[in-house]
Protein backbone atom coordinates (compact mmCIF):
# COMPACT_ATOMS: atom_id res chain seq x y z
CA UNK A 1 0.00 0.00 0.00
CA UNK A 2 1.32 3.41 -0.88
CA UNK A 3 1.95 5.56 2.19
CA UNK A 4 0.61 8.81 0.80
CA UNK A 5 0.69 10.60 4.16
CA UNK A 6 4.47 10.61 3.87
CA UNK A 7 4.47 12.38 0.54
CA UNK A 8 3.74 15.76 2.10
CA UNK A 9 5.99 18.74 2.92
CA UNK A 10 5.03 18.67 6.60
CA UNK A 11 6.07 15.00 6.81
CA UNK A 12 9.48 15.95 5.39
CA UNK A 13 9.57 18.86 7.84
CA UNK A 14 8.94 16.39 10.69
CA UNK A 15 11.74 14.14 9.42
CA UNK A 16 14.16 17.07 9.05
CA UNK A 17 13.34 18.23 12.59
CA UNK A 18 14.03 14.78 13.95
CA UNK A 19 17.27 14.18 12.02
CA UNK A 20 18.63 17.65 12.81
CA UNK A 21 17.69 17.18 16.47
CA UNK A 22 19.54 13.85 16.77
CA UNK A 23 22.59 15.26 14.94
CA UNK A 24 22.64 18.27 17.27
CA UNK A 25 22.38 16.05 20.36
CA UNK A 26 25.48 14.20 19.12
CA UNK A 27 27.28 17.37 18.02
CA UNK A 28 26.79 19.47 21.19
CA UNK A 29 28.84 17.31 23.61
CA UNK A 30 31.67 17.14 21.04
CA UNK A 31 31.42 20.91 20.47
CA UNK A 32 31.60 21.61 24.23
CA UNK A 33 34.55 19.25 24.63
CA UNK A 34 36.48 20.94 21.80
CA UNK A 35 35.69 24.34 23.30
CA UNK A 36 36.96 23.16 26.71
CA UNK A 37 40.37 22.70 25.07
CA UNK A 38 40.65 26.52 25.13
CA UNK A 39 41.02 26.16 28.90
CA UNK A 40 43.01 22.92 29.11
CA UNK A 41 45.15 22.94 25.95
CA UNK A 42 44.98 26.14 23.90
CA UNK A 43 47.68 25.00 21.47
CA UNK A 44 45.69 21.87 20.63
CA UNK A 45 42.54 23.95 20.07
CA UNK A 46 44.44 26.27 17.72
CA UNK A 47 45.67 23.22 15.82
CA UNK A 48 42.09 21.95 15.64
CA UNK A 49 40.85 25.36 14.41
CA UNK A 50 43.51 25.39 11.67
CA UNK A 51 42.38 21.91 10.59
CA UNK A 52 38.75 23.06 10.67
CA UNK A 53 39.46 25.86 8.20
CA UNK A 54 40.11 23.33 5.42
CA UNK A 55 37.32 23.44 2.80
CA UNK A 56 35.88 20.00 3.53
CA UNK A 57 35.59 20.65 7.27
CA UNK A 58 34.16 24.14 6.58
CA UNK A 59 31.49 22.50 4.42
CA UNK A 60 30.65 20.01 7.17
CA UNK A 61 30.50 22.87 9.66
CA UNK A 62 28.17 24.75 7.34
CA UNK A 63 26.00 21.63 7.16
CA UNK A 64 25.80 21.67 10.96
CA UNK A 65 24.86 25.38 10.94
CA UNK A 66 22.08 24.60 8.43
CA UNK A 67 20.89 21.75 10.69
CA UNK A 68 20.85 24.15 13.68
CA UNK A 69 19.00 26.82 11.69
CA UNK A 70 16.55 24.21 10.37
CA UNK A 71 15.87 22.93 13.89
CA UNK A 72 15.35 26.53 15.02
CA UNK A 73 13.03 27.64 12.21
CA UNK A 74 11.21 24.29 12.13
CA UNK A 75 10.82 24.51 15.91
CA UNK A 76 9.37 28.02 15.64
CA UNK A 77 6.86 26.65 13.12
CA UNK A 78 5.85 23.95 15.61
CA UNK A 79 5.55 26.45 18.48
CA UNK A 80 3.35 28.63 16.28
CA UNK A 81 1.25 25.60 15.39
CA UNK A 82 0.81 24.54 19.02
CA UNK A 83 0.29 27.91 20.66
CA UNK A 84 -1.15 30.15 17.96
CA UNK A 85 -3.30 27.60 16.20
CA UNK A 86 -3.54 26.07 12.77
CA UNK A 87 -3.08 28.18 9.68
CA UNK A 88 -3.86 27.11 6.16
CA UNK A 89 -0.38 27.99 4.88
CA UNK A 90 1.64 25.27 6.66
CA UNK A 91 3.43 24.38 3.43
CA UNK A 92 4.51 27.99 3.01
CA UNK A 93 5.86 27.95 6.58
CA UNK A 94 7.87 24.80 5.79
CA UNK A 95 9.25 26.44 2.64
CA UNK A 96 10.12 29.60 4.60
CA UNK A 97 11.85 27.60 7.32
CA UNK A 98 13.97 25.70 4.78
CA UNK A 99 14.73 28.89 2.83
CA UNK A 100 15.82 30.84 5.91
CA UNK A 101 17.99 27.92 7.09
CA UNK A 102 19.78 27.67 3.75
CA UNK A 103 20.29 31.46 3.73
CA UNK A 104 21.85 31.34 7.21
CA UNK A 105 24.12 28.52 6.03
CA UNK A 106 25.19 30.60 3.04
CA UNK A 107 25.96 33.67 5.19
CA UNK A 108 28.02 31.41 7.47
CA UNK A 109 29.93 29.88 4.56
CA UNK A 110 30.63 33.26 2.96
CA UNK A 111 32.06 34.57 6.23
CA UNK A 112 34.07 31.43 7.05
CA UNK A 113 37.77 32.13 7.22
The one-character DSSP state at 89 is: T
Contacts of 45 (CB under 8 A, 6+ apart): 34, 35, 37, 38
Closest approach of Cβ 105 to another protein, in Å?
10
17 closest CA partner among 83, 102, 98, 88: 98
Q: Considering beta carbons, is residue 3 or 88 the nearer one to another protein?
A: 3
Quick check: 84 binds another protein (CB under 8 A)? no
Q: Cα–Cα distance between 20 and 98 in angstroms, integer? A: 12
d(CA 18, CA 101): 15
Which CB atom, from 62 or from 94, has the smaller least distance to another protein? 62
User: Does 59 contact another protein by CB under 8 A?
Assistant: no
**Which residues are at the interface with another protein (CB under 8 A)?**
18, 21-22, 24-25, 28-29, 32-33, 35-40, 42-43, 45-46, 49, 65, 68-69, 72, 75-76, 79, 82-83, 104, 107-108, 111-113
Amino acid sequence: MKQTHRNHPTYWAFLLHRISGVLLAIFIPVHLYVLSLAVTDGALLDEFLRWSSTPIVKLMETGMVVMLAAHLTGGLRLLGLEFLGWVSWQKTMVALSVGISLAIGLVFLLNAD
